[in-house]
Structure formats: structure tokens, C-alpha cells
Amino acid sequence: MSDLSAEAESFVCGWLEERGWSVLCRNFRTRRAEIDLIAAREDITAFVEVKFAGDGSRTIALEKIDSVKQSRIVRGALAYLSANPASGQVRFDVAVVRGSSGDMRMGEYIEDAFRPGID
């Protein structure tokens, strides 16, 4: 993980906590999956994918979360939930962080950005 990615994840942790979320886990990993952040508030557990896009970036960060990446996130979420059951709503959010090192801001926070498909 790059220093900018780690800084973006830390920024999102603080952003979520300021809004009443508890960050349960950072960088949850299995052999085939990684989830950047897992957070909870009231009866919602959110699996959060963090994407950093510098101010000059032309790439749309959301385009990087294709169906393969979504499947990996869902597999990771299932592994986490099997060990840490959640009651209430489970959702998959995406945080797009803009800026530069030391000057980050939330570009966009998308609640329920995608839903698991049925294979």
C-alpha cells in the first residue's frame, strides 16, 4: 500500500468517526480479498472501499471498482461476517478522497455503492 493510500484511509477513518461511526477494522485481509475499512453506526455495518484521486487525476476512481473487485470485497465481507456476525443492515460504500498529501478532503462518499450479485 502506498503512503498516499494509507493517508487516505486514515483520513476516511477520521471523517467517519466525526459522523458517529466506529471503525471496527482497517485492512481486513483473507487470501483472496481485502477490505479497506469496516465501520458501524447504529444498526449498519459498512464495508468501505477507499479510493484516492489526486486533484489533477483524470481517472474516475469509481471505474477502478469493477465486478472482479466488487466480488473480492463481497468475499471478504462474508469472511468477516462469519467471524463477526452483524445485526441490521450491511452495505458496501465507496469513499473517494481528493487532494494531496497533508491536504485531503472527501471528494465523494457513496453509500450502498454496489450490491452483491447472485451467481
pLDDT tens, position by position, 39-98: 999 999 999 999 988 766 655 666 778 889 999 999 999 999 999 998 899 999 999 999
Burial label for 2, CB within 10 Å (0-12, 13-18, 19+), is: exposed
DSSP class of residue 20 equals: T
| Domains of the chain as residue ranges with CATH | 3-114 (3.40.1350.10)
Q: What is the pTM of this model?
A: 0.91
pLDDT of residue 58: 53
Residues in the chain: 119
What are the pLDDT digits (tens) for 12-36?
999 999 999 999 999 999 998 999 9
CA torsion 89-90-92-93 (nearest 10°) is: 50
